Amino acid sequence: MSSFLRASFTIAAKDLRSEIRTKEAFNASFAFSLVILVLFSFAFDPSSEELRTISGGLLWLVFSFAGALVLNRSFARELQNDCLDALISSPAPASAIFFGKTLANFLLLMIVEIAALAVFAVLYDTHFSKQFWPVVLVILLGTWGMTVIGTMFSALTVNLRMREMMLPTLVYPLLIPALMAAMTLTSDLMAGMPLGGDNMIWLRVLTGFDFIYTVLAVVFIDIVLVG
């Protein structure tokens, strides 16, 4: 287990250092999030009841599309100089490579989402300080599910000619249960409703989704990477 975690953290640190040097995924995803949030701010009245109803959907729409830009680069950056083949041939198991890349993508996505959430709170005059930690919990769970599936399909589509189009086409249908749960929970929490009662079923859906797809990804990553 210690060697597995060491290999995973090494892969994650490598990807994060690469992103810190280039900032290509972060700049693209944050710029896209900012543009979408600004455009929608002209379409909705920040004080309207309608905005409170769709706030969760709007926020996760931004997160999911920005996530596609980040996740698409996960394995694509390894294509230069046959780095992907060298990575697969290394002593690190395929599951450790996958977990390391998933962890790096998760941290990068969380940074983008925190920045987008701050912009969202300012532009839409949203106050959720009373429900701050429940909102953070929902974002963590939703982002993990999106990252696990996105990283898996990033590995699956890395050698395709139109991987930029194929990745969201394959990922978004699978994310429907997680996005529905995250959108519902986020909208309720931002409207001031506490986490509990009717909301708990959606929290269980989100938690179960993360657990099931994490296990499936770890089981099948050898087939995806090695064949």
Q: How many CB atoms lie within 10 A of CB 35?
A: 11
What is the pLDDT, as a whole number, of residue 146? Answer: 94
What is the pLDDT, as a whole number, of residue 163? Answer: 73
What is the pLDDT, as a whole number, of residue 126? Answer: 75
Q: Which long-range contacts (CB under 8 A, 24 or more apart) does 140-143 make?
A: 140/110, 141/182, 141/203, 141/206, 141/207, 141/210, 142/60, 142/63, 142/178, 142/179, 142/181, 142/182, 142/206, 143/63, 143/67, 143/106, 143/109, 143/110, 143/113
Predicted TM-score (pTM) of this structure: 0.90
> Which amino acid, residue 35?
V
Determine the Cα–Cα distance for residues 212 and 219; give it in Å rounded to an integer. Answer: 11
Counted domains in the chain: 1
CA neighbor of 213 nearest in space, from 115, 137, 143: 143
What is the pLDDT, as a whole number, of residue 158? Answer: 76
- Give the structural domain span for 161: 2-225
What is the pLDDT, as a whole number, of residue 225? Answer: 76
pLDDT average per 10 residues of sequence, the chain (227 residues): 84 88 86 88 71 80 88 78 75 85 93 90 77 90 94 82 79 92 89 80 94 91 76
Q: How many CB atoms lie within 10 A of CB 81?
A: 8
In Å, how far are 16, 68, 89, 224 from 82, measured between CA atoms?
A: 19, 23, 11, 17
